[in-house]
Amino acid sequence: APILEVREASLRYKNGHVVWQGLNVSVQPGEWVAILGPNGAGKSTFLKLVGGLIEPTKGQVQVKGKTLSRYRTPELYDTVGFVFQNPEHQFIADTVFEEVAFGGKVAGWAQERIEQESVQLLTDFRLLDLRDKNPFTLSQGQKRRLSVAGMLLKRQEVLLLDEPTFGQDAATTAELLQRMQERNEAGTTILMATHDVELVAEYATRVLVIGEGKLLYDGRPHALFQQP
């Protein structure tokens, strides 16, 4: 059964702007779906829709067979992780360490496990030296890495990432994707909006291209890049 299902979804913002109409997408567990499309095509909006942050104007979204209602419920939070395009919108803690550790605290993990897993992720993402800093004082690239680290700690089944590699150098991008690939190989479903076509070809198992208010392509990455 699909883990995510978007059925005949249309989205019109309050100001009347129609992003897309009659979108149908079904995602199986373990897929790594890259979402491509020009600026303003609706990639962020699509992730917000499947993450339960906005509601479709028409149609519906299901996660694990349950139709999402307007608000992000604790149950949805346990299943679906989200990294925003502007990660500072989701920061809640006073220090980098607390920000990563937060999901473990909420889940009631033992202090030792929280410390161990948080330090591991901070090390992986080269943030350990910054552990006592306020998240808002970090650079954009560091903020994005912190946001991904906090999401990975929670081990949700579905990860939604909006341009997670934006502004990162090549080595850091590779590191981020390596960590995500490990999760994907362990069965985690990933949906990632990106401009980086090379990454898509290397990591994604499937590509969605959004544009002109609809789905322009849905298939394997290599078929998209093979020009006749």
Contact set with ligand ADP (CB under 6 A): 13, 15, 17, 19, 37, 39-45, 84-86, 89, 162
CB of 40 to ligand ADP, least distance (A): 4
Cα(132)–Cα(75) distance, rounded to whole angstroms?
A: 30
If DSSP codes are grouped into helix, strand and coil, which group holds residue 218? strand
CB of 123 to ligand ADP, least distance (A): 27
Backbone angles phi, psi at 7, to 5 degrees: -120, 115
CB of 217 to ligand ADP, least distance (A): 14
CB of 162 to ligand ADP, least distance (A): 6
By beta-carbon proximity to ligand ADP, the closer residue of 18 and 106 is 18
By beta-carbon proximity to ligand ADP, the closer residue of 104 and 164 is 164
By beta-carbon proximity to ligand ADP, the closer residue of 83 and 127 is 83
Cα(154)–Cα(37) distance, rounded to whole angstroms?
A: 29
Backbone torsion region of residue 192, taken as left when φ is above 0, otherwise alpha when ψ lies between -120 and 50, otherwise beta: beta
By beta-carbon proximity to ligand ADP, the closer residue of 117 and 162 is 162
By beta-carbon proximity to ligand ADP, the closer residue of 17 and 113 is 17
By beta-carbon proximity to ligand ADP, the closer residue of 49 and 100 is 49
The helices-and-strands tally (H runs, E runs) of the chain is 8, 10
Angle formed at CA 214 by CA 199 and CA 52, multiple of 5 degrees: 75
CB of 50 to ligand ADP, least distance (A): 12
By beta-carbon proximity to ligand ADP, the closer residue of 20 and 125 is 20
* Residue whose token pair is 């490990």: 182
Cα(210)–Cα(38) distance, rounded to whole angstroms?
A: 8
Cα(129)–Cα(54) distance, rounded to whole angstroms?
A: 36
CB of 216 to ligand ADP, least distance (A): 12
**Dihedral sign (CA 77, 50, 117, 185):** positive
Residue 78, class by beta-carbon neighbours within 10 Å (0-12 exposed, 13-18 middle, 19+ buried)? Answer: middle
CB of 212 to ligand ADP, least distance (A): 12
